[in-house]
Structure 1
Amino acid sequence: MPVPQGRGLVSRSLLRDRAYAALRDAIVAGTLAPGERLNDTDLVAWLGVSRTPVREALARLEQAGLVRTKPGRHTIVSPLDERAARGAQSVTAALHELAIREAVPRLSAAELDTMRRANARFAAALRRGDAEDALAADDDFHQVAVVASANDAVRTVLEQFTPVLRRVERLRFSSLSGRASVAQHDRIVDLCAAGDVEGAVAATRANWGTLLPLLDTAPARDDTAAESSADGSAPPD
């Protein structure tokens, strides 16, 4: 049997995924701020990987709308952008509705219990004002239906668009406005348990729709200002 070509691809893929996840999480958390310039050398030192997985991770982040690259000049963290956030919200909401629609007939009692426990952690995090734990618990809640739907296309597209939306959600879960989601989650679980597909879909739509008022406060993108800041120069008058 001939030796397969491409030795080392698994390791390289893992490094790229690790770099992507670390950068994505830092951007969503605000550790890497909107407009901040990303230097390959600094990222290599921080992540402990070579330049290749860093560049591959940055390319993936650009596809997700989290960074912007001007070839030969710089890569920066994308500013919060109302248009991009609205696009991510509409896609994400529609796909979570589809996931629920496909998952309800398949959800087991154990999976429903997992959703309830995630919502309990979500509520506790909101009471503490812990936006990071609230986001993690909210992800865990919705991920149950995504996995149960067994729809790989849904999972793949959500992985691309959810991080853009999470930057906005982080603001919501830092305030009292996120607490309405606890009751909405409870309703989703109850409808799933009752086998009410259309009711669960409608409740999911309502839950994701609560982000829309926040998007009205997301700043419009200012490409000139961001690029001037990254270059260290002042924007034109």
Structure 2
Amino acid sequence: MTNHFEVNMDEYLPLRDVVFKTLRQAILKGELEPGERLMEIQLAERLGVSRTPIREAIRKLELEGLVLMIPRKGAEVAKISESNLRDVLEVRRSLEELAIDLACQRITAEELESLNKAEVDFKAAIGNGDAMQIAQTDEQFHEIIYNSTKNQKLVQILNNLREQMYRYRLEYIKDADKRQILMVEHEHILKALTLRHIQEAKMAVREHIDNQEITILKNLKEQENDIQRKVPGRRN
């Protein structure tokens, strides 16, 4: 088990939430690797807490799809699977198209100003090259669009889906070659929203999500091929 992460106490958060955020970030950053077992005792010792907040955090991570509970084996970090990726992106594609349609009709001048500011922050994050910061500013950009729909039920559903999307979003952003494309996609979405061109905005969102799916699937296949080449006795 990795020793590269530690719990960062926050006086405003309950201990269980601090532990959850710590383990979640460790999984998203790859410090806890796919397939790695999550041993409650070891994690509790590593983070200097009791087993109870560890157990609670693992349950929440399972709900997010970041952890799997294996019968007679226990918890382990979930692998990114092609089927799960497709399932999540199919839902996201439909919901994002609905959101961008409503946003084109309802977004205010103040929200457009906030969206422009979020895009500036996103570009700055890409310039810094920090994947976590890029993912966070990408989320902020989309969150402004969601809120501009003025449909709280849609916002709630998209926010729930966002938790499942975060790992895939980070996997996409890790591919440095795609970051400039991602920035251009944001610009297309922003321009269409500003002009309130619904069809152009929906097309920009579809392209944004399609490119994400293509890139992540390509990376997954490359990772799988690398693993297969490392299997003893396998001929290439």
TMscore range, shorter length: 0.7 to 0.9
- The 1:55/1:160 distance shift into structure 2, 3 A limit, reads farther
Counterpart for residue 198 of structure 2: 197
For 2:105, what is the secondary structure of its paired residue?
coil
User: 1:19 Cα shift?
Assistant: 3.8
Q: Is 1:77 paired with 2:77?
A: yes
- The 1:48/1:99 distance shift into structure 2, 3 A limit, reads farther
Counterpart for residue 141 of structure 2: 141
CA contact (8 A) 2:85 2:213 kept: no
CA contact (8 A) 2:66 2:78 kept: yes
For 1:80, what is the secondary structure of its paired residue?
coil
CA contact (8 A) 1:82 1:221 kept: no
Q: What do residues 116-139 of structure 1 show as CA deviations (whole Å, max 9, x unaligned)? A: 222222222223322111111111
Which consecutive residues of structure 1, in runs of 5 or more, have no partner in the other structure? Answer: 1-12, 226-237
One-letter amino acid of the structure 1 residue matched with residue 208 of structure 2 = N
CA contact (8 A) 1:80 1:221 kept: no
Q: Where in structure 2 are the equivalents of 1:48-197 lying within 5 Å?
A: 51-174=51-174, 175-197=176-198
What percent of counterpart residues are identical? 30
Give the structure-1-normalised TM-score.
Answer: 0.75
One-letter amino acid of the structure 1 residue matched with residue 98 of structure 2 = L
Q: Which stretch of the first structure deviates more once superposed, 55-64 or 114-123?
A: 55-64
Looking at structure 1, the residues matched to 106 and 70 of structure 2 have their Cα atoms a distance apart, in angstroms, of: 46
One-letter amino acid of the structure 2 residue matched with residue 90 of structure 1 = E
For 2:106, what is the secondary structure of its paired residue?
coil
Q: What do residues 99-149 of structure 1 show as CA deviations (whole Å, max 9, x unaligned)? A: 222223322222212222222222222233221111111111001011222
Q: How many pairs were matched up?
A: 211
One-letter amino acid of the structure 2 residue matched with residue 194 of structure 1 = L
For 1:216, what is the secondary structure of its paired residue?
helix
Looking at structure 2, the residues matched to 216 and 85 of structure 1 have their Cα atoms a distance apart, in angstroms, of: 8
Q: Which stretch of the first structure deviates more once superposed, 141-150 or 99-108?
A: 99-108
User: 1:165 Cα shift?
Assistant: 3.5
CA contact (8 A) 1:85 1:164 kept: no
Q: Where in structure 2 are the equivalents of 1:201-220 lying within 5 Å?
A: 201-217=202-218, 218-219=220-221
Looking at structure 2, the residues matched to 23 and 152 of structure 1 have their Cα atoms a distance apart, in angstroms, of: 29
Give the structure-2-normalised TM-score.
Answer: 0.75
CA contact (8 A) 2:116 2:190 kept: yes
CA contact (8 A) 2:37 2:76 kept: yes
Looking at structure 2, the residues matched to 89 and 180 of structure 1 have their Cα atoms a distance apart, in angstroms, of: 19
Q: What do residues 2-23 of structure 1 show as CA deviations (whole Å, max 9, x unaligned)? A: xxxxxxxxxxx95554443333
Bigger RCO (CA 8 Å, 6+ sep) = 1
For 1:37, what is the secondary structure of its paired residue?
coil
Which consecutive residues of structure 2, in runs of 5 or more, have no partner in the other structure? Answer: 1-12, 228-236
